[in-house]
A = this chain, B = another copy of it.
Amino acid sequence: MIELVLEAGDRGPRAGTLITPHGCIPTPVFMPVGTQATVKSLSPRELHEIGAGIVLANAYHLMLRPGAERIAAAGGLHRFMGWSGALLTDSGGFQVFSLGGLRRLDDDGATFRSHIDGSEQRLTPERAMRVQEQIGADIIMAFDECPPAEAGREAASEATARTHRWAERCLAAHETDSALFGICQGGMFADLRRESAAFIAALRLPGCAIGGLSVGERKALTWPLLEASVEPLPVDRPRYLMGVGSPEDLVEGVRRGVDMFDCVLPTRLARNGALFTPAGRVNITNARFARLDRPLDEECDCPTCTDFTAAYLHHLFRCEELLAYRLASLHNLRFLIRHCERMRAAILAGDFESYAEAFLARYQPANEQTRYAQRALYRRTRDAHHSAAAPTLPGERT
């Protein structure tokens, strides 16, 4: 089981420690995504070195390859991937509905085609529990239906009601001592979000996730909806905002009481040469970095900025050398993890807003229109690029 010990705040910005069987994790926390039992290009040792305490993997991908039984036979996911920190698995709901393979959806579950070999697969709440229990993460997620950003009130309401029935079935089917987190939905409707959060809160699960945000809606809409979702949640349980991971969005999430985040954004951007700096994202392939014989970010304590120059990183990207993806991923992940460490320190010092304002005043976010264009590009090319470097998609869950 896991437990959140709060050290500062209850509503609004909070600092705490998540106690897990695989380590104590200071919150707020950003969780790197290791979809297929590996954070792309990085070793477990490197993840420890940049301060990662918990990694997310994906039950959807792992049940298809290498198979949940296989991971169980190998002694569970921690042993299989050589990671001694904490692990969380996403249930697969988001992937079933987003990867384009959905064939049939009914109240019992979802039938879909594998994105690997086209084989027909079925996930129900009970099977999602069984699969995740076999995989053996510390935290497992309820099987949910995530309505798309464009869903109208009726569709969103139906998906949310189904998510609630499925959450109850997940709870009933859950057998191991892993911590089951519920997921609240509610689409783009504040009242549905409040109702959903209240329903999930009433299940008294060890943690509550907020799903279905940052799925393509305008950011101006995201934050009031997040507030509606957070408000009914229990103060003493961790709150996990799924699929959010840009530096500026982490500030907004923490400001509203979120404790946990995950996103493929930092690693996917990294593989495309887009690197976080205190002033905003830069693209290392830009000619202006060719002669910069200093670290990309002089203030950064990551292994990349400590050991290598921007000019070398530029060279590696221009040559499409494999080391490029690694060094860039280390930098972007360390940037977000350090950002969380600093938000935590500010909260403990009673000074979160000063940090938030100073950070946001300096950090220039990517233009929202650019982000949507990137997302559309990514959707079109997703199959071709499934496991290699791929165009960017901000805010995607996996």
Contacts and interface: CB of A to CB of B under 8 A. Distances in A.
Interface of A: 36-38, 40-45, 65-66, 70, 73-75, 80-82, 290-291, 293, 307-309, 311-312, 314-316, 318-323, 325-327, 387-388
Contacts of A44: 307
Contacts of A388: 320, 322
Given A38-B316, A66-B311, A74-B311, 19 more contacts: A36-B315, A36-B319, A37-B312, A38-B319, A40-B322, A41-B323, A41-B326, A43-B323, A44-B307, A65-B319, A66-B290, A66-B314, A70-B290, A73-B291, A74-B312, A80-B309, A80-B312, A82-B312, A321-B387
Interface of A is mostly: loop
A315 B37 contact: yes
Contacts of A291: 70, 73
A309 B387 contact: no
**Pairs A-B, 7 closest by C-beta atoms:** A41-B322, A36-B319, A66-B315, A38-B323, A74-B293, A320-B387, A38-B321
A293 B75 CA distance: 9
A280 to B, nearest CB: 26
A87 to B, nearest CB: 14
Nearest to A39: B323
Given A66-B311, A315-B65, A40 B320 contact: no
Nearest to A329: B322
Contacts of A312: 37, 74, 80-82
A326 B43 contact: yes
A318 B65 contact: yes
